[in-house]
Structure 1
Amino acid sequence: MKPLAADEITGVWGTLLLPVEGRGDISWDRLADQLDVLLVSGVDGIYAHGTAGEFHTLDEAEFDRVNAMLAGRCEAAGLPYQIGASYPAAPVMLDRVRRAAALRPGALQVILPDWVPLNGDEVVRFLAGASETAGGVSLVLYNPPHAKTQVPPTLLARVAAEVPQLVGVKMAGGDDAWYAAMADAVPHLSVFVPGHLLASGLARGAHGSYSNIAALSPRGAAAWYRLMTTDPAAARDVERRIGEFFARHIAPLQSLGLSNPALDKFLATVGGWADIGVTLRWPASSAPAEALAPARADAHRLLPELFPELFPAP
């Protein structure tokens, strides 16, 4: 597909999550079935190899196989897709960028090399090198809170000026001052924020989300995004109830030290829209199975808008 411009990266994007079995082998049939559901869910695009996709656990053959499946099916369906080419070590990441770019996705997502923090010159130098390696494919910088190098709006403005292929970022969001600083520094970039904060983020200038709410319910997340454009007050009320659900069922798992991939697989299994399961690849810990039933009951009670197949609108 053609490279995506910043104004074409909007809305709710769903991610591929790795169904694993046995000693951590990927269940390729279940992954294909999951992709089939995402393709007809109404999300604005699909991506692979974010944090929730456990990109750091994949060998290079697995990485390429996921990419081939994603590219082939999204191209056939005419749905935009992005490939995460991230890896903590820069040489491996650039090789992933090169191989993934050959598939001509709408964009490539990259992190910054992640063993030691980078200074501003190093951030620019790395992203310029990734851009050159991508050969014309757009770049999106994935800069979550746990990244060793945090990129503030001022540095992001410098990167955007020196690396024109950078079209978007995924960040944690912030307060009103952060959104104002981003609007001043990078008005032409697509800014994606966490899915559970999208209604308030959209109102303050965000453009979309690589969404953990799409992990819970891709159809529901897409419907919620449409509600943000037609009834912002109602959408904000959904966000408030998502916060209540997270406080009841996600925060306790975080307090146990579970990772974001574990939480997203937990959400997907609560949602039940595909056979994904809670199990992560070794050596990561997975969410406890006994937490699923009470979370599912509360999700249906608190958030019927996210489950249109169970609670259709009157």
Structure 2
Amino acid sequence: MNVKTPHPAIGGNWASLLLPIAADDSIEFDKLGEEIDILIDAGVDGIYSNGTAGEFHNQTEEEFDRIQAMLAERCKASSMPFVIGACQPDPLIMLNRISRAAALNPRAIQVILPDWWPLSDAEAADFLKRAADVACGIPLILYNPPHAKRVLSPKALGMLCAAAPAVIGIKLADGDASWYAEARRHLSGLSLLVPGHHLATGIKEGVATGSFSNVACLSPRGAQAWTVSMRDELDAALDLERRICTFMDAHIVPFRQEFGYSNAALDKLLSAIGNWGPVGTRLRFPYRSIDMAEAVRLRGIALSELPDLFP
């Protein structure tokens, strides 16, 4: 069993910072600032930058610094917790991002394992130890999504995090009952951030502390209310989860499975369906975006099938 040194847990409903992209592929920083303000006003438990949906893989270093500085400034002014994603497939670039992110004093820094050539277990531990040194006391969150070159089992993650105590949490996909049993056995003491549309199940299983949430992409306020409801109304929250998953499977997942759009495109589609901010559906070249007309078409369906998320 993996027992961590004490750090404040990363939990609850965390909203992803999505990049508003102009027709010329530039980042619309005025809209990004507006988006941050909307998320703060929605009262989410925290905001995180530079996940996959934040297109961390498709930014210059100057843009990276400007995004994180804007997020840190606005969150600190409002006492909103924030996590900076320093992810980058290149390990040297990622270590430099970690160093610069640490100077902004986020709640934690999210990292991936370097991604062009899969790391061995020993190499992965070495990298996380170096990342911890560079982070200068800021705790780390390991992002190990289903599209990583190595998707680690709960046992492997537990061993890796035991070798790198600065890692206090993991963003990962969950699984079936046997996966949850393995997570309880090997990942005790870590903040586990499961997919947003599975959060109620993760809470019921006693494993999840929260989510870096795709449901918050659809409705930050609705996702926050749903997360709060899990404390006292878990059965109702599980019912809403079933309806969210039905909506996702019927209307969102086919864009990936049948048409090959990226996960970032799906999250931006959710944001456009929710129509809560100035993000839009456009991704940066060369990634293809889902037409805004699809968001308009699905908006009425979402309001009809998931009214609980749109108070």
TM range (shorter): over 0.9
8 A contact 1:20–1:279 mirrored in 2? yes
Q: TM-score, normalised by structure 2?
A: 0.96
Distance (Å, rounded) in 2 between the aligned partners of 1:262 and 1:5: 36
Give 1:243 deviation, angstroms. 1.5
Match of 1:257 in 2: 260
Which shifted more, 180-189 or 276-285? 180-189
Q: Can you list the C-alpha shifts for 1:19-52, whole angstroms capped at 9, x where unaligned? A: 0112110111100000000001121100100000
**Structure 1 segment 1-314 matched on structure 2, within 5 A:** 7-204=8-205, 205-254=207-256, 255-308=258-311
Distance (Å, rounded) in 2 between the aligned partners of 1:148 and 1:209: 22
Aligned with 1:29: secondary structure?
A: helix
Distance (Å, rounded) in 2 between the aligned partners of 1:294 and 1:202: 32
Aligned with 2:280: secondary structure?
A: coil
Give 1:272 deviation, angstroms. 0.5
8 A contact 2:272–2:292 mirrored in 1? no
Distance (Å, rounded) in 1 between the aligned partners of 2:90 and 2:175: 28
| Aligned partner letter, 1:42 | G
Aligned with 1:108: secondary structure?
A: strand
Q: Can you list the C-alpha shifts for 1:210-236, whole angstroms capped at 9, x where unaligned? A: 000000000000000011112111111
Distance (Å, rounded) in 2 between the aligned partners of 1:88 and 1:162: 22
Gaps of 5+ in 2: none
Distance (Å, rounded) in 2 between the aligned partners of 1:272 and 1:175: 33
| Aligned partner letter, 1:63 | F
8 A contact 1:6–1:190 mirrored in 2? no
8 A contact 2:85–2:109 mirrored in 1? yes
For this pair of structures, how many residues does the alignment match?
305
Distance (Å, rounded) in 1 between the aligned partners of 2:55 and 2:85: 11
- Same amino acid, percent of matched pairs: 48
Aligned with 1:158: secondary structure?
A: helix
Distance (Å, rounded) in 2 between the aligned partners of 1:5 and 1:285: 42
* Two-structure CA RMSD over aligned residues (Å): 1.2
Which aligned runs of 4 or more in structure 1 are off by greater than 6 angstroms?
none
Aligned with 1:49: secondary structure?
A: coil
Aligned with 2:169: secondary structure?
A: strand
